[in-house]
Structure 1
Amino acid sequence: MRRRTILTGTALGVAGAALGLARPAGARAGSAGGEVLAIRGVTVIDASGGARRGQTVLIRGGRILDAGPAQRVPVPHGARIVDGAGKHLIPGLADMHTHAVGIDDTDPELYVLNGVTTTRQMSGGALARQWRQQVADGARLGPRWSIGSRIVDGSPSLWDDLDGDGSVHLAVENPAQAREAVRQEHAAGAEFIKTYTRLTRASFLAVADESNRLGLPFLGHVPDFVQLTEASDRGMRTVEHLFEIWYDTSADEDRLRAAVAAVPIGRGEYNGWFNRMHPIEYAAARSHDRRKAEKVFGRLARNGTFCTPTLALHETNDKPEQIDRHDPRYRYFSADVIGYWDWALENQYLPGRTPNQISRSKELFRRRLALTADLAAAGVPLMTGTDLGTTYLMPGFSLHDELALLVRAGLEPIQALAAATVNPARYLGRRDSGVVARGAVADLVLLDADPLHDIRNTTRVNSVVVQGRLIGPAERARLLADIEALAGRPKPAAAAPVATAPVASRGCPC
């Protein structure tokens, strides 16, 4: 059995308080007041304008006052000046597929310190809402949060018996229950409805209709019983992961869809479902028809359907033998987290993997990379997302891995940056985000090297500006050191995490 966990309980605010991450009173450089921050002589890079050298960017009160050539944008008297010579300024990055886990309580800070200033929470839950409120109150650093509904799945659901208190999912048996689930989550404040794998076609269409009636985006997994093109035509806002795309593009679609529909599940039987689905998905990938795919992807592009490939998730699932168990970034995570990851790898990911299965999984991942490039070439807007909550994926850090994987798939670095900046802003309906321009929100990342030369240079973070607040190199280094020190401390009993939705298949994402 290969499984993974999503945990939703923790002692909130422990890390923020311990690290002193609250916004200080009278914080400098536009955190709330009137002082101007000037980044002078910098190369600005965003997907709307490419690279622009010799720029000055002025920030005040959480907004960009002006951005342009140094000779046009003078630095006001008394401004706080950051020397941008030799550096590169990009918009803040977005991780558009996350789950608040809470084993450690440092996710919000690690996002920001890695330049991730926007996240999308894909399974509702109190933890992300409390983190968002703490950030809004100035009690800690953190990104902007878009928080969706609980997972809306069919009945029986893959989440039954795994989500004991109903904090993660809703199982619906028919269209009437599906409509009620949408209304319930809308009333609870969900910003979108998250659909899942075992919704019947009738229930999915009811979710789509009720969501459209309420003006609420719906997105997520395309259910096993629904064609990707039909979901897109009905208004599905984003397709998460690459699992469901193969069937619409397969030359053997009818037979494979019949095989998918015949896969039984019991209550909470994630592992059985995933293990039965894997050979069908492999057959669909092997029968991929490029001419058919061009028509399908063109339809998605015309409909404005976004796709979040989550290549970091797929690489972890498809190639667990290649996971680096000694990644130096793991020093920022507690023994509880590392211990669970290592246990899961040894007991759930690796056992039973035959040489043939390993070879097929590697081939499948290569095909996923090619599929991602084809989606981009067809004009389907892509967004970066990691599926944080999956074993060995890390807040903030793994977003940079996702960028590198997009480039490895064949995207140009500027396209990968678009997937992490302007495309998420478009999805969110924000014209004032994802760009470095006058009037835009001041969520920015200052890099020590050019990401257009090598996308891995997005990891060379010098400073971060989040909602107008500058976190310079010294403060950033101190905060990372504090998180590393905190990760090494034993957790007090009162702060022990509580597993409220314990185990799900490592191969079936959320």
Structure 2
Amino acid sequence: MTGTVSRRSVLAAAAAGTAAGITRWEPASATPGSGGAGLIAVTGVSVIDAVGGARRDQNVLVRGGRVLAAGHLRRTPVPDGARVVDGRGGFLIPGLADMHTHATEIDPTDPEMYVVNGVTTTRQMSSSETVRGWRKEIEAGTRLGPRWTVGSAIVDGSPSLWEGLGAPYVAVADAPQARAAVRRQRQAGAEFIKTYTRLSRAAFHAIATESRRLGIPFLGHVPDLVPVTEASDAGLGSIEHLFEFWYDTSHDERRLRREIARTHIDGGDYAGWFTTLHPLEYAAARSYDQHKAGRVFERLARNGTPVTPTLVMHRTADVPQDIAHDDPRFKYVSADTLAYWQWATQNIYLKGRTPRESKERRELIGLRTRLAGALAEAGVPLMTGTDLGTAYLMPGFSLHDELEQLVLAGLSPAQALGAATLEPARHLGHRDAGAVARGNVADLVLLDADPLLDIRNTTRINSVFVRGQLIDPPARARMLAEIEAAAGNRPATGVLPMGAGCACHGGTRRA
């Protein structure tokens, strides 16, 4: 594959794809009647959320994008004329959240892919004009999609791992440049500042100080040169991924940090960072000190610093050879997306990998999974996130995979659901979300099976409410068919767009 693609051509292709395959949403109207006009009632359903636990035989009334009432069916009558959704035998949960996304911009159907999978809240971890455009359409009611929080361009050290890779980034060499970057990104409309891997300690703390002064959250990667506890104490809004925890929890921390400080990574060499630091990360993981870890986790819990483990990303990065390339869900992505995934796997994750490293990384993914469970057990808030943009991850679908990984890590299904609903709502300051309660936004998912018995039942989706708009089974089937057709009808361009990949773990290149 050769050639380049401009940002304009990528956006034009996205618009064309939408016009070709995805219809504008036309909400079904409620049956007119006294007291029930515009009202939808889910009747006799079991409600599950992280606030009230599980409640059986509930009626939930939705109107005007809000939950009008929710309670036992004997105390919550259904007004005449309401549209009734029979919830008997079903389970109603709050809409799910993916708190670590990088919309790929290769395919134009991310918003629809999210909501058809019950994901009604997303956090874009890097600046994106495309996502801002989607958000305008969603807020105008002309397109169905999640509530989207959009961050700044990546703020990295100098040299930056993102040099020449196409994603929006700012390289800062010192504290004054870091403070200036915060001011510029806030002025540009960022809702939070995204910190990255190669920031110096001085630059990181300058970001913290300036962000607090301006009242804008800062969150993201814990830089290589900053301890996790130090970042938490400085007010980092959330910790993304599990890379840096091993050093804080190692009995050999001092030596390992000296080695990190001596390690040089060229600008734009993300694959080099990934492979060069692997021996140090592996040594840190193998020298894990449980008592030291307990003190670290206690500090994070006390500070209320949430962690987004992104275990599905770590699986792709650590054991890409285990990814099934015949996943039937891949029919919902285009040939260009599949080509990017194949390129990224060979040129980022497997580049220069030896059999020894592959063996060590297989051990590491098991250790990371146990680490996520230990964080939860210690009371550290966890949030679900996928790192969409990483190879073989899909909007919406992969959030359910992350829920399954969290349960494998030791969380109960109820805890995993809380990490996907209530914790994200708290983090984003959405007091009207994360639970099925009167007055809350009507972002809801009706399931055909109990997720508390098996977390994989979150994939047994019957219907989805997005701001009160009901996507019933026929509408959901139609949307999935349209997404599949749009992906299949998009001709392969033979080009991998620069910067279209994950802004955490490598952008695209010419292949």
Partner of 1:296: 296
Q: Which amino acid aligns with 2:287?
A: S
Partner of 2:69: 66
User: For the residues of structure 2 that align with 1:255 and 1:22, how far apart are their CA atoms?
Assistant: 58
Bigger shift: residues 325-334 or 132-141: 132-141
Pairing 1:117-156 to 2, within 5 Å after superposition: 117-156=120-159
Task: Tell me the C-alpha RMSD between the 2 structures.
Answer: 2.3
Contact persistence 1:103–1:497 (CA under 8 A): no
Alignment CA distance shift 1:150-1:34 (3 Å) = farther
Cα deviation, residue 156, structure 1: 0.8
User: For the residues of structure 2 that align with 1:232 and 1:297, how far apart are their CA atoms?
Assistant: 11
User: For the residues of structure 2 that align with 1:509 and 1:267, how far apart are their CA atoms?
Assistant: 13
Cα deviation, residue 29, structure 1: 8.8
Alignment CA distance shift 1:347-1:197 (3 Å) = closer
Partner of 1:10: 11
Partner of 1:499: 497
Bigger shift: residues 136-145 or 236-245: 136-145
Partner of 2:341: 341
State the Cα deviation string for residues 6-53 of structure 1 (Å, max 9, x = none). Answer: x993324434434454232775499xx951100001000001111111
Q: Which amino acid aligns with 2:363?
A: E
Q: Which amino acid aligns with 1:207?
A: I
State the Cα deviation string for residues 346-394 of structure 1 (Å, max 9, x = none). Answer: 5654465443222211110110011101110111100000000011000
User: For the residues of structure 1 that align with 2:236 and 2:345, how far apart are their CA atoms?
Assistant: 34
Cα deviation, residue 136, structure 1: 1.2
Partner of 2:417: 417
Contact persistence 2:390–2:502 (CA under 8 A): no
Cα deviation, residue 343, structure 1: 3.9
Partner of 2:81: 78
Structure 1: which 5+ residue stretches go unaligned? none
Partner of 1:310: 310
Bigger shift: residues 404-413 or 477-486: 477-486
Q: Which amino acid aligns with 1:410?
A: G
Q: Does 1:366 align with 2:366?
A: yes
Alignment CA distance shift 1:309-1:338 (3 Å) = same
Pairing 1:75-474 to 2, within 5 Å after superposition: 75-163=78-166, 168-346=168-346, 349-350=349-350, 352-474=352-474
Q: Which amino acid aligns with 1:54?
A: D
Cα deviation, residue 55, structure 1: 0.4
User: For the residues of structure 1 that align with 2:61 and 2:372, how far apart are their CA atoms?
Assistant: 37
User: For the residues of structure 2 that align with 1:69 and 1:362, how far apart are their CA atoms?
Assistant: 48
User: For the residues of structure 1 that align with 2:123 and 2:507, how far apart are their CA atoms?
Assistant: 15
Cα deviation, residue 63, structure 1: 0.3
Cα deviation, residue 253, structure 1: 0.5
Q: Which amino acid aligns with 1:48?
A: V
Contact persistence 1:178–1:207 (CA under 8 A): yes
Q: Could you say what secondary structure the match of 1:10 adopts?
A: helix
Alignment CA distance shift 1:498-1:424 (3 Å) = same
Contact persistence 2:104–2:500 (CA under 8 A): no
Cα deviation, residue 188, structure 1: 1.1
Q: Could you say what secondary structure the match of 1:254 adopts?
A: helix
Partner of 1:35: 38
Alignment CA distance shift 1:482-1:23 (3 Å) = closer
Partner of residue 24 from structure 2, selected from 22, 25, 37: 22
Cα deviation, residue 304, structure 1: 1.1
Alignment CA distance shift 1:37-1:18 (3 Å) = farther
User: For the residues of structure 2 that align with 1:416 and 1:119, how far apart are their CA atoms?
Assistant: 17
Alignment CA distance shift 1:209-1:326 (3 Å) = same
Alignment CA distance shift 1:290-1:209 (3 Å) = same
Q: Could you say what secondary structure the match of 1:331 adopts?
A: helix
Alignment CA distance shift 1:75-1:14 (3 Å) = farther
Q: Could you say what secondary structure the match of 2:299 adopts?
A: helix
User: For the residues of structure 1 that align with 2:406 and 2:68, how far apart are their CA atoms?
Assistant: 32
Alignment CA distance shift 1:329-1:478 (3 Å) = same
State the Cα deviation string for residues 50-105 of structure 1 (Å, max 9, x = none). Answer: 11110000000000001010000000110000000111000000000001211111
User: For the residues of structure 2 that align with 1:178 and 1:343, how far apart are their CA atoms?
Assistant: 33
User: For the residues of structure 2 that align with 1:500 and 1:466, how far apart are their CA atoms?
Assistant: 32
State the Cα deviation string for residues 280-314 of structure 1 (Å, max 9, x = none). Answer: 00011111111111111111111111100000000
User: For the residues of structure 2 that align with 1:197 and 1:506, how far apart are their CA atoms?
Assistant: 9
Cα deviation, residue 340, structure 1: 2.5
User: For the residues of structure 1 that align with 2:498 and 2:506, how far apart are their CA atoms?
Assistant: 18
Contact persistence 2:211–2:217 (CA under 8 A): yes
Alignment CA distance shift 1:505-1:77 (3 Å) = closer
Q: Could you say what secondary structure the match of 1:501 adopts?
A: coil
Compute the TM-score of the two structures, normalised by the length of structure 1.
Answer: 0.93
Bigger shift: residues 345-354 or 459-468: 345-354
Q: Which amino acid aligns with 1:22?
A: R
Compute the TM-score of the two structures, normalised by the length of structure 2.
Answer: 0.93
Contact persistence 1:237–1:304 (CA under 8 A): no
User: For the residues of structure 1 that align with 2:146 and 2:355, how far apart are their CA atoms?
Assistant: 42
Cα deviation, residue 125, structure 1: 1.6
Contact persistence 1:448–1:461 (CA under 8 A): yes
Contact persistence 2:17–2:490 (CA under 8 A): no
Contact persistence 2:165–2:507 (CA under 8 A): no
Contact persistence 1:63–1:442 (CA under 8 A): yes
Cα deviation, residue 271, structure 1: 1.9
User: For the residues of structure 1 that align with 2:198 and 2:351, how far apart are their CA atoms?
Assistant: 27
Alignment CA distance shift 1:34-1:225 (3 Å) = farther
User: For the residues of structure 2 that align with 1:267 and 1:346, how far apart are their CA atoms?
Assistant: 20
User: For the residues of structure 1 that align with 2:320 and 2:215, how far apart are their CA atoms?
Assistant: 40
Alignment CA distance shift 1:176-1:344 (3 Å) = closer
State the number of aligned residues. Answer: 498
